[in-house]
Amino acid sequence: MTVMVSASAVRDLREKTGAGMMDCKKALAETGGDFEKAVDLLRQKGLAALAKKAGRIAAEGLAAVRVSPDGKVGAVVEVNCETDFVAKNDDFKGFTSALAERAAVERPATIEALLDSRMAGGKTVDETVKELVAKIGEKIEVRRFERFEGEAVSSYLHGGRIGVLVEGKGAAGASALDALRDVAMHVAAARPRYVRREEVPAEALERERAIYRAQGKESGKPEAIVEKMVAGRLEKFYSEVCLPDQVFVKDPDGKQTVAAFLKKAVPGLSVVRFARFEVGEGVEKKSEDFAAEVMSQVKPG
């Protein structure tokens, strides 16, 4: 039975994996249209470039961060607009910065609560957004925010495009905040997904094991060797996705982990959680040319 593969499915798979269109079409056909199985199949064949495509920017806007003077409270926000031109507008930049302040001060639990909170001038965030839309002439959306409150909170903002918030425990004061800022800079560059190994979902680990076993068996090596390969690659997986296990980006020798850096910089200090916002991450821009390209590749026959 021939499986009909839609243009949108091929497009989505290509966006996520970076594999060629025909490889994506074949993978979807071989897996009966199952998207996640198609991703795994491409990875097994070495055709997916997940890490390179994971942070692909598909929308415009700004990220902003705000941390209280005492380093106990912080917030990071993302506000989207339609064009890079508007993202550089002074009114848009001023609003985004003020919104981060509101998120830190007002303690909103949801986006709705943040929109209902009041700016310094007395108007709600929602009212301010509508006025900004009328003035600038583009759709503007408060997309997301995170607010941390704890022993030590620090942040890092990279060019208004990447905003990071990090909360630590076990130490406070200037040295702890400086160390956490370095960690926030690391998070911006290295894109960790978890704070510690225990947070990695069991299904995610099993999925990785299955992929590594499939790769090992294709090499023709004995089962015992394959299992050792799986264990080794899982360690590498942890070093790629878990913050403490990652090699610290500011280490000149490229050997010191984030955990080792913190232990040396401020004994007792550890990371509780982090938030990393990259503007437009996961938001898809319309691309008529790309859609037409995909359609030409997935026509039956």
Question: pTM to 2 decimals?
Answer: 0.75
pLDDT tens-place string over residues 14-43: 777 767 677 888 899 999 999 999 888 888
Token pair recorded at residue 122: 């007395």
Question: Which residue do the tokens 């917030």 mark?
Answer: 75
Token pair recorded at residue 255: 């050997």
Token pair recorded at residue 79: 């506000």
pLDDT of residue 188: 96
CB 18 within 8 Å of CB 50 = yes
Phi then psi for 139, rounded to 5 degrees?
Answer: -65, 130
Q: Are strands 162-169 and 73-81 parallel, antiparallel or unpaired?
A: unpaired
**Residue 22 carries which side chain, given as an amino acid letter?**
M
Distances (CA, A) of 102 to 16, 122, 124, 125, 286: 34, 12, 10, 9, 32
Question: What is the SS3 assignment for 278?
Answer: strand
pLDDT of residue 54: 39
Q: How many CB atoms lie within 10 A of CB 122?
A: 7
Q: Does domain 60-195+257-278 correspond to CATH entry 3.30.479.20?
A: yes
Token pair recorded at residue 248: 């610290």
Is residue 269 scored above 80 in pLDDT? yes
Distances (CA, A) of 155 to 64, 71, 111, 147: 10, 10, 21, 11
Domain edges within the chain: 1-57+284-301, 60-195+257-278
Classify 1-57+284-301 by CATH class: mainly alpha
Higher-pLDDT residue of 5 and 100 is: 100
pLDDT of residue 288: 44
**Residue 91 carries which side chain, given as an amino acid letter?**
D
Longest dimension (CA), the chain: 70
pLDDT of residue 2: 62
